[in-house]
Amino acid sequence: METGKISAYKRLYIVAALVFGLDQVTKWWIFNNLTMNRDRITVIEDFFYIVHVGNEGAAWGMFSGHGSALTLFAAIALVAIYYFRHTLQLKLLPIQLFFGLMIGGIIGNAIDRMVHGHVVDFLDFHFPFEIPLILPNGHYPTFNVADCGIVIGVFCYIGYSFMLPPPSIAEETA
């Protein structure tokens, strides 16, 4: 094995570890300091609160009650990222950062499902307006650091991928 290959994804691993670490530390604090579905800390009155919610589903509570399937999906996603790393052009620095965000988030939420049986969510935003299907009653679904990593990573990757030339056949088989 070439030494360069080990360090080729170093930035990806560092970003993933940072997102995972921050996610788990914040969830640990929430889990140990706020009673689920009861306590809340007001950060900005009528706008931003820190709460403790157990989400048994995925984003917006979709697929609630299917935690095992969601954990399996997370494992499949991680294997797919590894398997398609050349096609995904993971050697490029920006893409390493985007996938580091996603991987850290995927692992953070998967660990929650395995340990707690649900994902610990705590960032709770309320807006003075509503957008049907997105902000019903002005309330954005409660989320966590892992969710931020996944969403930011996905949107940045999609945006950045439009700026890249498609990989050549030679690069895909390398």
Q: Where are the domains of the chain?
A: 15-172
pLDDT band at 45 (very low <50, low <70, confident <90, very high): very high
At residue 143, what is the residue type? Answer: F
pLDDT score at 1 = 37
pTM equals 0.83
pLDDT band at 62 (very low <50, low <70, confident <90, very high): low
Rounded to whole angstroms, what are the CA distances from 11 to 14, 17, 82, 90, 91? 5, 10, 15, 10, 10
pLDDT tens-place string over residues 90-111: 888 899 999 999 999 999 999 9
pLDDT score at 77 = 86
- State yes or no: pLDDT of 11 exceeds 80: yes
Query: CA 115, CA 66: separation in Å to the nearest integer?
Result: 15
Nearest CA to 107 out of 26, 23, 25, 51 is that of 23
Task: Tell me what percent of the chain is helix, strand and coil, each rounded to the nearest 5.
Answer: 55, 15, 30
HEC letters along 80-111: HHHHCCCCCCCCCHHHHHHHHHHHHHHHHHHH
Mean pLDDT of 75-80: 86
pLDDT score at 16 = 97
Query: CA 99, CA 96: separation in Å to the nearest integer?
Result: 5
- State yes or no: pLDDT of 145 exceeds 50: yes
Tallying the residues shown for the chain, one arrives at 174
Q: Which residues are catalytic?
A: 121, 147
Rounded to whole angstroms, what are the CA distances from 145 to 88, 124, 130, 131, 163? 24, 12, 24, 23, 27
Nearest CA to 104 out of 26, 20, 27 is that of 20
